[in-house]
């Protein structure tokens, strides 16, 4: 039986980047599994401001330093529809697509429409860099 082409698949296949992003083409490709990220350097400590964070676009991660010396690693994809969150400001990472806001301390939702927070990855600091464990 032939597979039916969905509207989302059609938009993605057509390469309509602007529309595809809104349609959520990547909805089936969530954040990388922790095993694939384990041992990966995700940021240099010096690049992550206290009370803020830094996006790692290649790995689709958000690295934050909520308080001095405490580093957190989250997926940078909003769980609402997969848009990328912005670089944090005032302790909040926001999703520019629909306005969800996330706390950089624990990834929890501060403002919807997202119903769940950002997925957190265990991390450690070695030799001036942040790594996923």
pLDDT per residue as tens digits for the range 20-74 = 333 333 333 445 555 689 999 999 999 999 999 999 999 999 999 999 999 999 9
Q: What is the pLDDT of residue 4?
A: 39
Q: What's the rounded Cα separation, in Å, for the pair 79 and 11?
A: 21
Phi, psi of 12, rounded to the nearest 5 degrees: -65, -45
Q: What is the pLDDT of residue 36?
A: 86
Q: Which residue has the higher pLDDT, 18 or 90?
A: 90
79-126 pLDDT, tens digit per residue, is 999 999 999 999 999 999 999 999 999 999 999 999 999 999 999 999
Distances (CA, A) of 60 to 11, 29, 85, 89: 22, 11, 10, 18
> Based on C-alpha coordinates, what's the Rg of the chain?
16
Q: Which residue has the higher pLDDT, 9 or 63?
A: 63
């Amino acid at each position: 039986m032939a597979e039916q082409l969905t509207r989302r698949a059609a938009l993605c296949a057509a390469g309509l980047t602007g529309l595809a992003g809104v349609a959520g083409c990547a909805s089936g490709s969530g954040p990388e599994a922790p095993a694939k990220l384990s041992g990966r350097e995700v940021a240099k400590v010096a690049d992550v401001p206290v009370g803020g964070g830094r996006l790692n676009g290649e790995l689709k991660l958000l690295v934050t330093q909520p308080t001095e010396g405490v580093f957190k690693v989250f997926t940078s994809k909003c769980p609402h529809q997969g848009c990328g969150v912005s670089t944090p400001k005032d302790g909040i990472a926001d999703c520019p697509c629909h306005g969800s806001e996330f706390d950089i301390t624990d990834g929890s939702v501060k403002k919807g429409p997202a119903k769940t927070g950002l997925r957190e990855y265990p991390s450690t600091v070695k030799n001036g860099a942040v790594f996923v464990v």
